[in-house]
Structure 1
Amino acid sequence: MHRVGLLISDHFQVLGLSTLSIFEFANQVAGEPFYDCTVYSERGGSVKSSYGFAVDSQPIAANMDIDSWLVAGVLTPLELPASPGIVDFLRVNAPRARRVAGICTGAFVLGQAGLLSERRATTHWVHAQSLKALHPTTRVEEDRIFIIDEHVWTSAGLTAGLDMTLGMVEKDLGAEVARTVAHLLVMHHRRSGGQTQHSEMLMLSPRSDRLQSALEYARNNLSKALTIEDIADAVHVSARQLSRLFRSETGKSPAKAIEGLRLENARLLIEQSKLSMEVIARESGFRDRRHMREVFIRGYGIPPQSLRTGKA
C-alpha cells in the first residue's frame, strides 16, 4: 500500500483536492487499493478552503509513515505563507518520504522548508518571479507543467497538478495505467513535465467558431503545405475572408499563425519523443531540418537540438 498525504492549510486552493481523484481511479484501473489517500492539516479537523467551504482533515504528527506528500497551495502565497508548524514538519518528514510535491503555489511551502535549495522547480507562471525572489538558489523554470528533481516534485497552475500526479502513477504502475486513468477522467492526454504552460492556440485566442475550426484544421494537418486556400476550403469561407478573420482576431497573418502552430508541434515532439530532427521537421510541415532550425531560432532564440542536449 502506497500512502499518500495531501497537506492542506487554511484557504487552500480547492482544485488541489482533485489530485486525489488520480489515485482513486488508479486504484480502479489497477484492480486493487494500491494507493491509500488521507487529507492532513497542522491540527486536524475542519479546514476552510479558498472557496469558503471546509474539508475535514487528520492532524500531522512526528515521524509519520507517508510515501508521498502532496502540499496544496493558496491563491495568495505571499500573503498567506505556511505556518512555522507546517514548515518544521516538512523539514523533518519530507526527507523520510519517497517523494514530496508542491501543487501550484505549494512550491512556496516547500521553499520555506528549504526543500527547493539548489533544485529545479516550477509554479504557476503568475507567481514564478516571486518564487525566484524569495528563493534565489532555486532554479525556477516558469514555463514547465511540472518538474521532478530527485524526490521533489513541483507543478505549475492547478490543473497541472493532475498531470504531475498522473506522472506519479506512471512511475508507480506504468504508462498503460496512467493512460487509462487519463482516458477515464476525460483528460485530452497526459502532458509531460517538459511541456510549456502556454498553448499557442490559447495565445492566438480565436473568438469565432469559424476561425477556431480553421486553426483546428491547420493543427491537425501540419505535415501538409497548408495554403490559405486549403484552410478556407476546409471551413467553407473565401481565402480573403479567412485572412481578414486571422488578422482581426489574432493580430497575425495566416502564415504567421500557422508557423506558430508548427513551432509548438515541433517543440513538443522534440521534448516528448525520440524522433529524428528530419522526421520532426517533416511531421511539423517544415521544408527540411534546416528550415525548421531557422524558424526555431527566429521564434525561440535557440536551435531545436538544444532542447535535447540542454545546450543552446
Structure 2
Amino acid sequence: MHTVAVLAFEGVVAFDLAVPCQAFSAAWHSDGTPRYEVRVCGDQDVTATAVGVPSFRVRCEFPLDAAADADTIVVPGLARHAQPPGPRVLELLRTAAGNGARIASICTGAFVLAAAGLLDGLRATTHWRAAQDLARSHPRVTVDPAVLFVDNGQVLTSAGAAAGLDLCLHMIRTDHGAAAAAGAARTVVMPPQRDGEQAQFIRHPAPRSDGPTLQSTLQWMHENLHLPLTLGDIARHAHVSVRSLNRQFQAQTGTTPRKWLLTARLDRARELLETTDLPVERIAALAGFGSPVTLRSHFASRIGPSPSSYRATFRLQRQVRP
C-alpha cells in the first residue's frame, strides 16, 4: 500500500496538517479498502496554529523517523515560515528524495523544501503573501504566486489553504486516475481539481456564495456536456444576457464559459478513457467534442498524448502499481 507521511512540527498550521490526512484517507478502492496508509509523523507533541495563533496540541502517532520509508511525504505550512524546522527534518527530506520518495508541500511548507535544497532550479509556489519572501530568501527557486500548485514530477508545491486540497486530489488522480480523485473529492465535498500530463493545471474555484451565483448553471452545463452548448444556450439557462454571462463567469470562476466547457469536457473524456472500453468515437460524442478529430486536437494541445495513447498508458500504470 502507498504510504503517505505528513510531517508535524512545532508551529505547524493546523489546516495544512489536516488536509492531506483527510484527502488521502478519502481515497478508497471499489471494495471499500483504503488506497493509502496515512501517517502523521513527529517526535513529540507539537503546537498547531490557526491564522498564526497557537490553538491546540497535536500528539503524533508515529515518530519522525517513520516518514523515512514513505512513498509520499507532505510538508504542511509553518506559522513562522522564515524559521524552518531543524536540520534533522531537512536531512530526512533530502534522503527521502534521494531514495525516490515524492515530496509535496502545502502553503508555506515550500520554505522547508527550499531550505532542504529540493526546489533549487525548479518552479514552485506558496501562499501569495509569502511568495516574495520565498523568492528573496531562495533566489535559485523560480516562484510563481499566481497558480494553485506546481508539479515538477517528484517535487510538488501548492499555494495556501484550500490549494492544498487541489494538490492532494491531483496526486490521487496521478496515482489512481480520475474516478478515484472524483470519489475522494465527493467525500471532502469539493470539485475534483485534476490535471493532465503537464506540470501544472488550474481548475478554478467554485462560485462565491455571496449574491447570485452560477452554481445551478454550472451543474446544468456539466450534465449536458454531450450537447453542442452555445453561449446563448448557457445565458438563457442563467437568465442573463451573453455579455452579463461572460462577466459573471469571469468573476465567479476566473475563466470564460468556453474555457470552462473545454476543461470539463476533457475531464469527462479522460475519465471515460480510464474507466471504460468505449471507442474513441463514442467518447468524443459523450464528452461533447462531436468528432474524434476534435477530441484528438484538444488532447494534443492540452494534455499531450493521443486519447488512445493516454488510455494505454493509464492501463499500463494500473497494471504496474500493484
Question: TM-score scaled to structure 2, two decimals?
Answer: 0.65
User: How far off is 1:188 after superposition?
Assistant: 2.5
The one-letter amino acid paired with 1:31 is: G
Which residue does the alignment assign to 1:257? 247
User: How far off is 1:84 after superposition?
Assistant: 2.5
* Conservation of the 8 A alpha-carbon contact between 2:4 and 2:38: yes
The one-letter amino acid paired with 1:127 is: A
* Conservation of the 8 A alpha-carbon contact between 1:4 and 1:66: yes
1:77 correspondence with 2:76: no
1:94 correspondence with 2:97: yes
User: How far off is 1:154 after superposition?
Assistant: 1.0
Closer/same/farther in 2, CA of residues 13 and 116 from structure 1, 3 Å limit: same
User: Aligned equivalents of 2:231 and 2:218: distance in 1?
Assistant: 10
Equivalenced residue count is 256
1:103 correspondence with 2:93: no
Give runs of aligned pairs for residues 53-64 of structure 1, distance below 5 A.
53-57=56-60, 58-61=62-65, 64=68
In angstroms, what is the RMSD of aligned CA positions?
3.8
Q: Give the unaligned 5+ runs of structure 1.
A: 240-252, 276-282, 284-304
1:31 correspondence with 2:32: yes
Closer/same/farther in 2, CA of residues 197 and 109 from structure 1, 3 Å limit: farther
The one-letter amino acid paired with 1:4 is: V
The one-letter amino acid paired with 2:7 is: L
Question: TM-score scaled to structure 1, two decimals?
Answer: 0.67
Which residue does the alignment assign to 1:297? none
User: How far off is 1:255 after superposition?
Assistant: 7.4
Give runs of aligned pairs for residues 163-178 of structure 1, distance below 5 A.
163-178=166-181
Closer/same/farther in 2, CA of residues 231 and 197 from structure 1, 3 Å limit: closer
Identity fraction in percent: 30
Structure 1, 128-137 or 27-36: larger mean CA deviation: 27-36
Closer/same/farther in 2, CA of residues 262 and 112 from structure 1, 3 Å limit: closer
Which residue does the alignment assign to 1:10? 10
User: Aligned equivalents of 2:207 and 2:65: distance in 1?
Assistant: 46
Closer/same/farther in 2, CA of residues 176 and 259 from structure 1, 3 Å limit: closer
User: Aligned equivalents of 1:225 and 1:185: distance in 2?
Assistant: 32
User: How far off is 1:95 after superposition?
Assistant: 2.1
* Conservation of the 8 A alpha-carbon contact between 1:200 and 1:264: no
Closer/same/farther in 2, CA of residues 136 and 308 from structure 1, 3 Å limit: farther
* Conservation of the 8 A alpha-carbon contact between 1:99 and 1:151: yes
Closer/same/farther in 2, CA of residues 7 and 259 from structure 1, 3 Å limit: closer
User: Aligned equivalents of 1:126 and 1:198: distance in 2?
Assistant: 20
Moved over 3 A (4+): 27-31, 191-202, 215-227, 229-232, 253-256, 258-275, 305-309
* Conservation of the 8 A alpha-carbon contact between 1:68 and 1:97: no
* Conservation of the 8 A alpha-carbon contact between 1:12 and 1:50: yes
* Conservation of the 8 A alpha-carbon contact between 1:15 and 1:158: yes
Q: Give the unaligned 5+ runs of structure 2.
A: 222-227, 270-287, 289-299, 305-322
Give runs of aligned pairs for residues 1-312 of structure 1, distance below 5 A.
1-16=1-16, 17-27=18-28, 29=30, 31-41=32-42, 44-51=43-50, 52-57=55-60, 58-61=62-65, 64-78=68-82, 80-192=83-195, 194-196=200-202, 207-208=210-211, 211-212=212-213, 217=217, 224-225=230-231, 234=239, 254=244, 257-258=247-248, 260=250, 263-267=255-259, 273=266
CA deviation digits over 1:207-230, x for unaligned, max 9? 53xx436x9659967954559x96
* Conservation of the 8 A alpha-carbon contact between 1:6 and 1:70: yes
* Conservation of the 8 A alpha-carbon contact between 2:193 and 2:202: no
